Amino acid sequence: MKTLGIGIVGVRYGAHMHYENFKKLPPGLIELRGVCSRTLESAEAFASKTGITFVTNNIDELLAREDIDIIDICTPPATHHEIAIKAAQAGKHIIMEKPLTGYFGEPGDKEPIGFHVPRARMLAGALKNAEAIREAVRSNGVIFCYAENWVYAPPVVKMRNLIAASKGAILEVRAEENHSGSNSVFSREWKHTGGGALLRMGSHSVGACLHLKHWEGMERLGKSIRPVSVMADTADLIHTDASNRAKKANAHNWISSNPVDVEDWANVTIKFDDGSRATVLVSDVGLGGLNTRITTFMTDGVIKANMTANNAIETYAVDPETFSNEYFTEKLETKAGWNRPSCDEDWFRGFIQEITDFVDAIQNNREPLAGIDLAVDCVNVIYSAYLSAEQGKRVNL
C-alpha cells in the first residue's frame, strides 16, 4: 500500500496526542511530512520534537504539497470549518479533532458572545458551518475521519458485541464525563471553542450515545435510530453563590475551570425515534481525575463501560511524591491516598484504534466508523441542547 503523507495543523495538546499514536502504527503506513501553526516558532518547536522537516504558518503552503494526502486538524474549534473546507477542496483527506465546528460570533464582535447572542442564531450558524464541511467532503470525494475516540474504546467495542449477542433493545444510554478543567487556554471563551463543557466534553458523550443507537438500529432494523429532540440544562457552577461561599471560607480550590462566557456543567436528555432516551452529564468541576463511563439499560440486561478509572491497578501512598515519576491518568490532582492508574490510557480510551481505522479507511476508500455524519449530528444535538437550556423546554431536531 502507498505510504500516506500527513500534514498536521495545530501544535498543542491534540497534535501531540495524535503524534504519539501515529508512532504506534506499523512502519510504512504513514509519514508525517508537514506541520502548520499560527506562528513559525511554535511549528518549528513541534517539528524539532517530531522530526517533521516541512514547517509553515501558511495553510495554503501545506495544502499545495503533492506528497501530503491527509490533513490532520488539531486547531481550536473556531478554525475547524475553514481549514476542513480548504483541505477538501484541495483533495486532501481529513482527520479532525472533535468537535466538528460550532458558532464563534460575527466579525467585529467585542463582547463575550456567550452572554448576548441568542442560542437560535448560534444553532443556525453552527449547522451552516457543519453542513458546509459535509458538502465540501462529499463534493470533493475525500474521506472525513472524526476523531471520536469513545466509539473506538475497547469497553465500548465490547458493549456493542454484548448488545449484538442479546436480543434486547436499548431503553436508555447514560453517558458521563467529568474532570477538574480543560487543558486548553482557549476553553474559557465561546468565541474560541463554540461553547463550554457541553460542546468540548459532551461531544464524546453525545457522540457515543448517537453512535450506539445508530448501530443498534442498523443491527436490529437495517436502518439508523435517529435523535428527534433534546431537553437540557447548563450552568457555570464555579461562579455560583455556593462556590463563592467556599472561597470566603478560604477552602482550597483544586478546580481549574474558570469560564468567561461558557458553561462548565450540563445535563442533556436526548429522545430517539424509537422512544428510547439518552442521558448525558458533563462537568468541569469534578475532582479525582478524568471520569468517563457509559451504561446501557436494556430490556434484557445492563452493560457498564468504564474507560478511565478501573481497578486493574490500585495504589496507595501517604506521600504524593512516592510515585511522582510515573504517569497515572489525565487530570489527577494528587497521587496521595488510594488511586487507580491507567495501564495504557491511549489504548483503553481508543486513540490508537481510531487512528488505525482512519488510515485503513483512507487506504481502502471506505467510510471510517466515526465519520462526517456522526460529527454533524453531534453539532445538531448539542446546539439544540443550548437552545433548550435557554428556553427551558424541549427542542425538536
d(CA 370, CA 204): 12
pLDDT surpasses 90 at 58: yes
**147: phi then psi, degrees, rounded to nearest 5:** -75, 65
What pLDDT is attached to residue 308? 83
pLDDT, position 302: 97
* pLDDT tier, 161 (very low <50, low <70, confident <90, very high otherwise): very high
CB 180 within 8 A of CB 331: yes
pLDDT, residue 216, reads 97
* Virtual torsion, Cα 134, 367, 346, 306, nearest 10 deg: 90
What is each CA distance from 201 to 17, 245, 365, in whole angstroms?
16, 27, 30
Of 133, 137, 8, 132, nearest in space to 65 by CA = 8
- What does the block give as the cell for 161? 458485541
Mean pLDDT of 241-246: 91
Give pLDDT, residue 45.
95
Cα 286 to Cα 333: distance, rounded to the nearest angstrom:
11
347-to-24, 28, 155, 166, 292 alpha-carbon distances in Å: 10, 21, 11, 26, 14
More confident residue, 279 or 181: 279
Residue ranges of the chain that CATH labels 3.30.360.10: 150-352+383-396
252: pLDDT strictly greater than 90: no
Helix axes 13-22, 351-363, angle to 10 degrees: 70
Least confident of 77-86, 117-126, 318-327: 318-327
Q: What CATH number does the domain located at 150-352+383-396 have?
A: 3.30.360.10
More confident residue, 360 or 13: 360
Neighbour-count burial of 165, counting CB atoms closer than 10 A to its CB (0-12 exposed, 13-18 middle, 19+ buried): exposed
pLDDT tens per residue across span 261-315: 999 999 999 999 999 999 999 999 998 888 899 999 999 999 999 988 778 889 9
pLDDT average, residue stretch 21-34: 95
- According to DSSP, the β-strands at 301-306 and 227-235 are unpaired
> pLDDT at residue 1 above 90?
no
CA separation for the pair 146, 142 (Å, rounded) = 13
Give the percent of the chain with pLDDT over 70: 100
pLDDT on residue 354:
97
Backbone angles phi and psi of 107, in degrees to 5: -55, 135
Beta strand 4-9 with 337-339: parallel, antiparallel or unpaired?
unpaired
Cα–Cα dist 229/375, whole Å: 17
pLDDT of residue 368: 98
- What nine digits make up the cell of 68? 501530503
CB atoms within 10 A of CB 363: 16
User: For residue 355, which of 134, 143, 95 has the smallest C-alpha distance?
Assistant: 95
pLDDT given at position 344: 85
Contacts by residues 105-110 (CB-CB < 8 Å, ≥ 24 positions apart): 105/190, 105/191, 109/191
Share of the chain above pLDDT 90, in %: 83
d(CA 341, CA 135): 43
Q: Bridge-partner residues for 96, per DSSP? A: 73, 146
Residue 330 above 90 pLDDT?
no
Encode 303-312: b = buried (16+ Cβ within 10 Å), e = exposed: bebebbbeee
- Kindly state the cell numbers that stand for 86: 480548504
pLDDT band at residue 375 using 50, 70 and 90 as cut-offs: very high
Q: Where in the sequence of the chain do the CATH 3.40.50.720 domains occur?
A: 4-148
Cα 258 from chain centre: 20
The torsion region of residue 141 among left (phi > 0), alpha (psi -120 to 50) and beta comes to left
Residue pair 129/81 in contact by the 8 Å Cβ criterion: yes
Residue 107 pLDDT grade (very low, low, confident, very high; cuts 50, 70, 90): confident
CATH (residue range 4-148):
3.40.50.720
